[in-house]
Amino acid sequence: MGGGEERTIIVVYQKLLNFFGEQGWWPADTPFEVVVGAILTQNTAWRNVERAIENLKREGILSPEGLKDVETSRLAELLRPAGYYNVKARRLKNFMDFLHREYGGDLNRMFSEPLHTLRQKILKVKGVGFETADSILLYAGGKPIFVVDAYTKRILARHGVITDGASYQDIQDLFMRNLPRSVPLYKEYHALLVKLAKTFCKTKFVCTGCPLEEGWPISNGK
């Protein structure tokens, strides 16, 4: 993409927004619930995450203290609907250990850290990768960082915007250097890309009727 990158990225956003409308993502009652959901949603459908979170709510342990104190084996059973429940129980425990060790279990205190300092710390938590860390920062912490997921990569690759070798950072930079520094915009754009991938740009894609049916708009720089 050349000098028209910025205009192109905005044009795509407007096309998706006009077609799908506002998504209002991330669905959660509290920032802490967003954190838990971001960890649980790895390799599973969101409806499964919702069932697991409902289990935690029913047990009264959807809190930093509750998840810290619950036995890992019991936590795993409650997370069973989310799949990979033993792994995810350990990851949640790892994050709770980090939250309590570094910030006394206080999410507000954690999010008072500067973005890049906090991002590096979260990425050191075992089991937390770029997408999960950035989802926590953007959706729970209100930090201006763009989330890249498999859906985004699929859409960009199919439209020839990126190559197979594009890294997470490459894709994130593409959006962040061409968009205003805006938390609401980053949230909405990411959610719209997810909606596009689930509706049209599926594993077996359906191009007819897609808002990007004519291809990724390449700006002429004007």
pLDDT at 206 > cutoff 50? yes
Question: d(Cα 99, Cα 107) in Å, to the nearest integer?
Answer: 7
Q: What is the pTM of this model?
A: 0.94
pLDDT in tens, 104-153: 999 999 999 999 999 999 999 999 999 999 999 999 999 999 999 999 99
For residue 199, report the phi and psi dihedrals to the nearest 5 degrees: -95, -45
* DSSP code per residue over 15-58: HHHHHH--------SSHHHHHHHHHHTTTS-HHHHHHHHHHHHH
Percent of the chain with pLDDT over 70: 96
d(CA 18, CA 205): 21
136, 38 Cβ separation under 8 angstroms? yes
Contact 191, 182 (CB under 8 A): no
Structure tokens at 119: 């991002």
pLDDT at 5: 82
Q: Mean pLDDT across the chain, nearest whole number?
A: 94
pLDDT tens, residue by residue, 39-71: 999 999 999 999 999 999 999 999 999 999 999
Domain 31-140 has CATH 3.40.50.1220: no
Tell the residue number behind the tokens 């915007």, with chain if given: 161
Indicate the pLDDT class of residue 218, thresholds 50, 70 and 90. Answer: low
Kindly state the tokens that stand for 62: 């959807």
Determine the average pLDDT of the residues in 182-186.
Answer: 98
Would you state the pLDDT for residue 11? 95
Residue ranges of the domains in the chain? 5-24+147-199, 31-140
Give the integer Cα–Cα distance in Å for 136 and 115. 11
* Residue tagged 């909405």 (tokens): 188
